[in-house]
Amino acid sequence: MTTNTTASTEVTQVATTRPVQPTLGWAPWRRAFWYHATFWSRTWRGQVISSFLFPVLYLASMGLGVGKLVNHHSGGVSGVTYLEFVAPALLAMTGMQIASNESMWPILASFKWTRSYWTAVSTPITPRDLVIGKLSWVAVHVAMVGVIYTCVLEAFQTLLSPWAVLLPLAGVLTGLAYAAPIAAFTATQENEKSFPVFYRFAIIPMFLFSGSFYPISQLPSWLRVVVQFVPLYHGVAICRTLALGQGSLATTGYHVGVLVALAVLGAYLCDRNFRKRLEA
Amino acid sequence: MVTDPPCSVAQVLTPDSRVSLVAARGLVKRFGDFTAVDGIDFEIYRGESFGFLGPNGAGKTSTMKMVSCISPPTEGSLTVLGQDPKTKGPQIRARLGLVPQEDSLELELSAMDNLMMYGRYFDLPRAEIKRRATELLEFTQLSERANEKADNFSGGMKRRLTIARSLISDPDLLILDEPTTGLDPQARHLVWERLYRLKSEGVTLVITTHYMDEAEQLCDRLVVMDRGKIVAEGAPQALIQQHSTREVLELRFGMDGHGPRAAAVADLADRVEELPDRLLLYVGDGDEALAAVHARGLAPLSALVRRSTLEDVFLRLTGRTLVD
Ligand SMILES: Nc1ncnc2c1ncn2[C@@H]1O[C@H](COP(=O)(O)OP(=O)(O)OP(=O)(O)O)[C@@H](O)[C@H]1O
Ligand SMILES: [Mg+2]
């Protein structure tokens, strides 16, 4: 008498007068991409200006300050001036920096505070669209900054090889090797506690020990082994090869391979973790 | 039994010619070992306004997430707009509007930009989104603040903006998860009034609420949920008739307990419920019962005669109150 829940069980099949039209459009993920682009575009002027300013300051300090000292004492590094040696590393470092910034707080915010991912999945957008949209946005963001940086490097006459036109792509690859695994991690987090720790004990050491400022041959041998697991090291190596036109195809292939593998593995984990969280 | 294959418009009518938009059988949602939705059946028809009434934790939101094809059922069968959410999620969601329980507006964006952004998720042309957004801001009485950041909005305005947002795709089915929780009475009435308008325009509404007055006002038909199960189903008035008396006499005595008084008046009512702060006497005629109480020399501090509500139905079925 208390329950009477089954309404007209005789009805076997049901539908609507207006059957669902597959009006999903091409590549729905591009709408998740535009979401990020829209927010970026609201402050793009400031971002472009700082994109010029930062490399200029970096090159000035490295070239005029440290570079003078190094060149004076040892006549450059690996046969090039110190400025030529450190300049291309900038692309990889920036790839790492943009990617890690984009993949921690903003992603957690979209899950927890603005809930914009929940908003998106209540529309035809799927968790996978969100992942592709986010990663492609990071790629485009790094590429835009990378193009500006490369122009600045060229203006400082630090690029010795025509392969240097590929520098922005090396930045993008480095960025994705960071963005994808970090985003996959962020998707499992309930709060931001781990982010500052990650910055201090992972990002900053990588920044310092990945051969950006000196060749890793200067490091003790055990650290040279550890560095092989650091994406930034591979990114810096690729950038340097492209900028200076030195290095073998085999080693470059190895560096590219490691970064691609990380990005692909990260993207796979992102896809899984986003879906797990949003479809709970 | 309707066994004919679907006709050309993929439409199957029920025996009483209602079109079913959502059909759930044995729907279960588990989170780990915890069962949030415990095998429920319901069917929602085109043009009606269907409610899920239940207290906190009853499983309303979990059910809405399944119906809106965000979260897949753990068990059971679910059909939404005639399709299977497992395989046609994005296609179905293209025809749904969802007002989630927690506001999820882009606070940095203006009201208008919130609608523009959301409309693009549905791949609508910009000009069309703009046209609909202008109309919907008008409808939700936000036109004057269209270009203001959503961050500056009051709770009621945010809720209305969320409703406007959910309508941008001109949905076949509008799902509202606690549309007025946390709003002050005036803001609630404004939302209700807009929902009435939608209802009268023939929009199919699914509403969850733990307010019995909201359910009574807005829902043609509803299910009462408790602890993941459906404990009753029907039209609000029919449920009240079925599970409660016409009137209720509420008696408040002092702080020294109702126990003995409950026994003293038990024979005056069909049923007596003892709440922490008052006695509820379920009777046909409240005034008559009150006179009888007085005649027995009992002097309540206050007495109130009212009509039975869904709250009483819930109390009857579960032994607990809806809002704690
Ligand atoms: N993602 C989740 N993981 C674990 N438990 C969950 C999850 N979502 C909901 N629950 C649990 O399921 C139960 C039902 O939750 P639900 O949100 O569906 O209830 P509700 O009826 O919407 O309640 P309220 O009125 O508070 O919104 C609750 O006990 C809740 O804690
Ligand atoms: Mg809820």
Model confidence pLDDT, tens digit, residues B87-141? 989 999 999 999 999 989 999 899 999 999 999 999 888 888 999 999 999 998 9
Find the mean pLDDT for residues B22-46.
95
> The whole model's pTM is what?
0.87
Q: Which of B249, B234, B262, B220 is nearest to B308 (CA)?
A: B249
Check if A249 contacts B (Cβ < 8 Å).
no
Is residue A114 in some structural domain? yes
pLDDT tens profile B65-82: 999 999 999 999 999 999
Q: Whose CA is nearest to atom 9 of ligand 1?
A: B62
Is residue A92 in some structural domain? yes
Is residue A199 in some structural domain? yes
Q: Is the pLDDT of residue A7 over 50?
A: no
- Other residues' Cβ atoms within 10 Å of the Cβ of residue A272: 15
Q: Which pLDDT band holds residue A44 (cuts at 50, 70, 90)?
A: confident
For a ligand 1 pocket test, name from B28, B53, B60 the mutation site with the most ligand atoms within 8 angstroms of its C-beta: B60
Is residue A12 in some structural domain? no
Q: Which pLDDT band holds residue A28 (cuts at 50, 70, 90)?
A: confident
Answer whether B35 contacts ligand 1 (Cβ < 6 A). Answer: no
Distance from residue B100's CA to the centre of ligand 2 (Å): 9
ipTM: 0.84
Q: Whose CA is nearest to atom 11 of ligand 1?
A: B36
Given 3-state DSSP classes, what are the helix, strand and coil percentages for chain A, each rounded to the nearest 5? Answer: 70, 0, 25
- Other residues' Cβ atoms within 10 Å of the Cβ of residue B47: 14
Answer whether B114 contacts ligand 1 (Cβ < 6 A). Answer: no
Answer whether B121 contacts ligand 1 (Cβ < 6 A). Answer: no
Listing DSSP states for B204-267 in one string gives EEEEEES-HHHHHHH-SEEEEEETTEEEEEE-HHHHHHHHS-SEEEEEE--SS-SHHHHHHHGG
3-state secondary structure of B51: strand
Give the chain A residue nearest B168 (alpha carbons): A123
- Parallel, antiparallel or unpaired: strands B247-252 and B279-283: antiparallel
- Residue A115's pLDDT is what? 93
User: What is each CA distance from B52 to B56, B173, B210, B225, B237, in whole angstroms?
Assistant: 12, 15, 8, 7, 15
Distance from residue B103's CA to the centre of ligand 2 (Å): 12
Is residue A87 in some structural domain? yes
- Residue B5's pLDDT is what? 38
Nearest to A8 among B43, B68, B79 (CB): B43
Answer whether B100 contacts ligand 1 (Cβ < 6 A). Answer: no
Contacts of B193 (CB under 8 A, 6+ apart): none
More confidently predicted of B14 and A106: A106
Find the mean pLDDT for residues B236-248.
90
Q: Which residue has the tokens 């946005």?
A: A137
Distance from residue A104's CA to the centre of ligand 1 (Å): 27
Check if B235 contacts A (Cβ < 8 Å).
no
How many Å is the Cα radius of gyration of chain A?
23
Is residue A13 in some structural domain? no
Nearest ligand 1 atom, CA B228: 14
Q: Is-same-fold flag (B9-234; B245-307)?
A: no
Domain range annotation of chain B: 9-234, 245-307
- Residue B255's pLDDT is what? 66
pLDDT tens profile A184-229: 999 999 999 999 999 888 888 888 888 888 888 888 888 888 888 9
Give the chain A residue nearest B204 (alpha carbons): A16
How many Å is the Cα radius of gyration of chain B?
23
3-state secondary structure of B110: strand
Q: Which residue has the tokens 């449920």?
A: B239
Greatest distance between any 2 Cα atoms in chain A: 95
Q: Is the pLDDT of residue B11 over 50?
A: no
Answer whether B289 contacts ligand 1 (Cβ < 6 A). Answer: no
Q: Which of B241, B254, B204 is nearest to B316 (CA)?
A: B241
Q: Is the pLDDT of residue A42 over 70?
A: yes
- Residue B228's pLDDT is what? 94
pLDDT tens profile B214-241: 898 899 999 999 999 999 999 999 999 9
Q: Whose CA is nearest to atom 22 of ligand 1?
A: B61
Selected residue of A1, A3, A4, A5 to mutate for chain B interface (largest B Cβ count, 10 A):
A5
- Residue B76's pLDDT is what? 95
Q: Which pLDDT band holds residue A3 (cuts at 50, 70, 90)?
A: very low
pLDDT tens profile A66-113: 777 777 777 778 778 888 888 899 999 999 999 999 999 999 999 999
- Residue A141's pLDDT is what? 94
CA distance A235 to A228: 11
Alpha-carbon gap: A129 to the closest alpha carbon of chain B (Å) = 11
Q: Cβ contacts (< 8 Å) between A41 and chain B: which residues?
A: none
Give the least confident one: A41-55, A235-249, B26-40, B250-264: B250-264
pLDDT tens profile A119-173: 999 999 999 999 999 999 999 999 999 999 999 999 888 888 999 999 999 999 9
- Residue A17's pLDDT is what? 41
Query: Do residues B257 and B313 lie in contact, with contact meaning Cβ atoms separated by under 8 Å?
Result: no
CA distance B224 to B216: 12
Check if A35 contacts B (Cβ < 8 Å).
yes
Residue B283 corresponds to which tokens in the numbers above? Answer: 């009777």
- Residue A18's pLDDT is what? 41
Contacts of A54 (CB under 8 A, 6+ apart): none
Is residue A27 in some structural domain? no
Q: What are phi and psi of B194, to 5 degrees?
A: -65, -40
Nearest to B10 among A8, A19, A25 (CB): A19
Q: Whose CA is nearest to atom 17 of ligand 1?
A: B61
Check if A8 contacts B (Cβ < 8 Å).
yes
CA distance B197 to A214: 70
Q: Is the pLDDT of residue B177 over 50?
A: yes
* Fold of domain B245-307: Alpha-Beta Plaits (3.30.70)
- Residue A9's pLDDT is what? 36
Is residue A9 in some structural domain? no
Alpha-carbon gap: B135 to the closest alpha carbon of chain A (Å) = 20
- Residue B133's pLDDT is what? 94
Mark B215-251 as b/e (b = at least 16 C-beta within 10 Å): bbbbbebbbbbbbbbbbbbbebeebbeebbbebbbbb
- Residue B10's pLDDT is what? 38
Nearest to A279 among B6, B19, B71 (CB): B71
% of chain B surpassing 90 pLDDT: 50
Is domain B9-234 given the CATH code 3.10.20.740 in the classification?
no
Domain containing A92 equals 32-278
- Residue B290's pLDDT is what? 85
Q: Which of B306, B309, B305 is nearest to B216 (CA)?
A: B309
The domain total for chain A is 1
More confidently predicted of A178 and A37: A178
